Chains A and B, each alone.
Chain A
Amino acid sequence: MAWLRLLNEKIRALTRRRRDDETLAQEIDLHLRLLEERFQQRGMPADEARREARRAFGGLQQLKEAHREARTARWLPEAAQDVSYAIRMLRRQPGFAIVTLLTLAVGIGANAAVFSVVNAVILRPLPYPSVDRVERVGWDWNGRSAATGALAPFKFAYLREHTRAFQALATWQTWTVESGAGTASAPLRVLRVSQDFFDVVGASPAQGRGFTPAEQDSDAGVALLTEACFRTRFSSDLGALGRTMLLDDRSVVIVGVLPTTFEFPEVSDNIDVVTPLTLRADPSDHGANFPVMGRLRPDVTRAAAQADLDRVFSELRRELPNQFSGAAERAVLMRFDEIYLADIVRPLWALFAGVFIVLLIACTNVANLLLARGTTRLREMAVRAALGASRGRLLRQGIAEGLMMSAIGGVAGVALGTAGVHVLLGLAPGGIARLDEVRIDTIVLGFAAVVITITGVLFGLAATGIGTMPRAGAAASLATRGSSVTRTGRRVRQLMIGVESALAMLLLVGAVLLVSGFYRLTRTPLGFDPHGVIALTFPRLAPELRTPARVAAAERVLRGALAAVPGVSAAASTSVAPLAERGWNIPMTIDGRPDATEGAVEWRAVSREYDAVMGLRLLEGRWLSDDDVDAGRPVIVVSAGFASRYFPDGHAVGQRLWLGVFRGERRPNANDVPREIVGVVADIRDLGPTRPARRTVFIPQAGSQPGSGLPAFVLRATDAVSHDSLRAAVRAADPALPEPIVSTMESRLGARLARDRFSSLLMAVFASVALLLTTIGVYGVVSWIVRHATHEIGIRIALGAGSRRIARDVLLRGLVPVGLGLALGGAAALAASGLFTGLVVGATTVSARIAIAAAAVLLIAAATAAWFPARRALRVDPVAVLRAD
């Protein structure tokens, strides 16, 4: 690091130049006086001694200069000179400068924006101490489809008891509650955590205390506040400790406050309150599965931890063999991104790659512009070389100019990127983990700085014309035209548009693929008619309204009131609003066929009007009737997928099945009698077109709502029906109910397609920009070729060459590299085909047809761009050319 020290010294010397000069003056003064005294001692007269001292010491002025130069770095003032020269060059050509800087600013800004998202969501480490020891445990059901990031409570409890690899294991659950009197009335987000949770995440209360083991076991009424909740709801008043607060109908004592640093990205909500969670570890409880996170003991590797999981669960399998269905079923270690970012990591990287390709193309264009200027500036360079500037100095000058350019463009770009992040977040689909952490921070700025530096240096090389730099004394030779400089320059430019075309091709193929996939997705038959359907969903009911009788009464009244709203032709209730994020499922066994059983069929409790509102297509039998509901008849309607799975020969109607029974075991929610299949309807995708149609059953049980809330309502209505009139109808029918959320099926469909629209839209934008930039690049290069071939063209015209032939030659010089680039880009796209699929659910692999379509678009754009300058070639006047010689 010796050079670093030297550099530091020299830079410091710049700032203390004055003091150093004075110090030297003092030293010289002393030295001279001592010399003088010495000469006088030898018997010299005073004036002769002074002269002799001066002579022995040497030239004072030279010394001061030499001293100063040794102190400071010579290249520093030169660098300042380079920069000021660069600024002057930019100001001399404002048009050029603006085009270049804008291109760069957009390129760097878009990259900074997308990178900030990649950084926050993927790259930034999770906020746990010794984060490499924090692992999640999931369950792999069959070794084929992706594992789920949750365990049944009894498996969690067994693991916690028998593990040797984990020093702590915890689970959690989130819940929304109304807060009672004494606090603000907005609902609170509660995180309920099992024992050892804080050991796993490595956090402890900043004020007060945590939960005692007894409190944890008995789920006693205690709570911890997060810092944000403590601040906003209790004004950071420490008197809150020990006070009670109401969570729904339960009062809890506030025992502590968590530190500001407490973050828990595993749940996407902002947590207000943390309370203990006690799990019932009963294998017969088939309620919800729970996410599991653990902290490994030090020195336990991931492989060892997985081996430990395998050991623990093979023991459990021996103890409770009937709790395991297949041999492939096992617990697996899972990473954060596997659970929470499974469908976002790849699209994000793909978008980042896309935006980076746009930057590369933009840079190629900028380099092209600089190169064009570099050649016109050859004469200036040659003159400066002749005047004694070294090649190194000229190169440095060019790099200074390039860096100037990319720095200005980059700063503007980062400003643009900061705004761009907001646009990006506005477009982004909801529910992406950690998206709220996106910001332009030092890492993003560092990324921008690296991009700026690299592009700047490359531009500098381009500006000085890379290989075309003149040697000293070459100035004279530049007077002659058609030199080899032009030929090399042309090769370099052709290479550039070739590369541009290849990159643009890659993006365009990707965009065509995603957009066509997205189009296909929007055209996916849903099995119902979403047009003119409005959904009403209700927030959680207040505790006193949550009785089955009360809910059933409200359902009946609302259904009637909504159907009576002018413009509404039918109203139905359903346990799951169509196009919701998730449905409800239930185990099922066909009556008399114990093997025909499955753990989760989609289950919809609907009112009789449901099929009319939704426009379901009845394939067999009949739909549910009012009699079924009134008489409580045990009937059921199944989807076509269900019927063909269990009754492949047809004849599903008339068969019976048991709900809530799986492998001969009755779940708490099992029916007492089997239900008779009375009808079969066409498959529906009521969870959105991105999910496959699930096997679904409909039962006539309006108002029986899991999760003790109100069912959702669907209405068939004309456009004239205002959402306000629907809300008013609800208020009038039952004033005690909360205000419903009203949404059209179109908007709900939009929400389900948000992620795929986001990917395809951005890719389309990137590809369009790439196409535009490439077109500009081709135009620039062909123009340049024509300009520098004027002489040659003039002579050929004079010799009688046809204009058609000349135009063709000029066009080919531009289009051949483009064609080669397209072939290369197409091949790359085919090879990387797998990268694109999965970004949009409907996207298929790259087909030759898509590649050819993309290539055709690019080729037409390039040919158009090349045509204008080529026409100019035809107008070359041979007489003028020859006279100029």
Chain B
Amino acid sequence: MDETRPEVLQGTLDLMILKALDALGPLHGFGIARRLEQVSGGVLRLNEGTVYTALVRLGQRGWISSSWGLSERNRKARFYGITGAGRRQLRREEQGWQQIAGIVNRVLRLAQED
């Protein structure tokens, strides 16, 4: 079963996190991991710890910001939210991603027809 679960491409994790924060508002690391699991239908293979590395990267670029708050059951957690710059970046990446996906799909279709 493991073999069929695709690895997360470098860079796409950042995009997915931005999308999650854009869609759901501020989340803590665990919440982000759950959202990723949910949208991929449990297909994506991901060490959940890598989410935190991605969050540092995004924070340094100013695309997300963080603050301490209380999670469900009153536990102290760090919440991450998308910034304006993050939203703009997300739009750019979505466009780029769709273009590439389109091209790859076309290439793959052509290859099948051969």
Residues of A in contact with B (beta carbons under 8 Å apart)? 2, 5-6, 9-10, 23-24, 26-28, 30-31, 34-35, 56-60, 62-63, 66-67, 70-71
Contact = CB atoms under 8 A, between A and B. Distances in A.
Given A5-B62, A6-B61, A23-B78, A28 B52 contact: yes
Contacts of B71: 30
* Interface range, B side: 20 to 34
Interface in B57-86: 57, 59-62, 71, 75-78
A70 B56 CA distance: 7
Contact of A31 (B33, B59, B60, B61): B33
A29 B48 CA distance: 13
A67 B48 contact: no
Contacts of A10: 60
Contact of B60 (A6, A26, A60, A63): A6
Contacts of A58: 47-50
Contacts of B62: 2, 5
Contacts of A2: 61-62
B52 A27 contact: yes
Contact of B30 (A5, A6, A26, A31): A31
A57 B47 contact: yes
B66 to A, nearest CB: 9
Query: Which of B29, B52, B61 has the most A CB atoms < 10 Å from its CB?
Result: B52
B30 A9 contact: no
Contact of B49 (A5, A23, A60, A70): A60
Given A58-B49, A63-B50, A67-B56, A27 B61 contact: no
A839 B78 CA distance: 72
Interface in B31-51: 33, 47-50
Contacts of A34: 30
A66 B57 CA distance: 11
A31 B53 contact: no
B47 A59 contact: yes
Contacts of B57: 70
A24 B50 CA distance: 12
Given A31-B29, A56-B48, A58-B47, A66 B53 contact: yes
Given A57-B47, A63-B49, A63-B53, A27 B78 contact: yes
Contacts of B49: 28, 31, 57-60, 62-63
Contacts of B50: 58, 63, 66
A57 B46 CA distance: 8
A34 B57 CA distance: 24
Contacts of A66: 50, 53
User: What does DSSP make chain A's interface, helix, strand, loop or mixed?
Assistant: helix
A30 B30 contact: yes
A392 B77 CA distance: 42
A63 B52 CA distance: 8
Contact of B75 (A28, A30, A62): A30
Given A27-B78, A70-B53, 10 more contacts: A2-B62, A5-B61, A24-B52, A30-B77, A31-B29, A31-B30, A31-B33, A58-B48, A62-B49, A71-B60
Nearest to A62: B49
Contacts of A35: 30, 48
Contacts of B52: 24, 27-28, 63, 67
A782 to B, nearest CB: 54
A9 B71 CA distance: 27
A5 to B, nearest CB: 6
A13 to B, nearest CB: 8
Nearest to A70: B56
Contacts of B61: 2, 5-6
A57 B56 CA distance: 17
8 contacts: A5-B60, A27-B52, A28-B49, A28-B52, A31-B33, A58-B47, A59-B49, A67-B52
A389 to B, nearest CB: 25
A62 B49 CA distance: 9
B48 A57 contact: yes
Interface in B1-44: 28-30, 33
A57 B52 CA distance: 11
Nearest to B57: A70
10 residue pairs, one from A and one from B, having the closest CB atoms:
A58-B47, A63-B49, A58-B49, A9-B60, A70-B56, A34-B30, A66-B53, A31-B30, A57-B48, A57-B49
Given A30-B75, A30-B77, A56-B48, A67 B53 contact: yes
B28 A30 contact: yes
Nearest to A10: B60
A556 B76 CA distance: 104
Nearest to B32: A31
A24 B49 CA distance: 10
A59 B56 CA distance: 17
A273 B52 CA distance: 72
A71 B56 CA distance: 6
A10, A59, A66 interface centre (most CB from chain B within 10 Å): A66
A586 B54 CA distance: 89
A54 to B, nearest CB: 10
A489 to B, nearest CB: 43
Nearest to B50: A58
Nearest to A67: B53
Contacts of A57: 47-49
A63 B30 CA distance: 15
A655 B33 CA distance: 115
A26 B30 CA distance: 12
B105 to A, nearest CB: 31
Contacts of A62: 49
A2 B59 CA distance: 12
Contacts of A60: 49
Nearest to B58: A70
A62 B47 CA distance: 11
Among B48, B76, B77, the most chain A Cβ lie within 10 Å of the Cβ of B48
A35 B46 CA distance: 14
Contacts of A70: 53, 56-57, 60
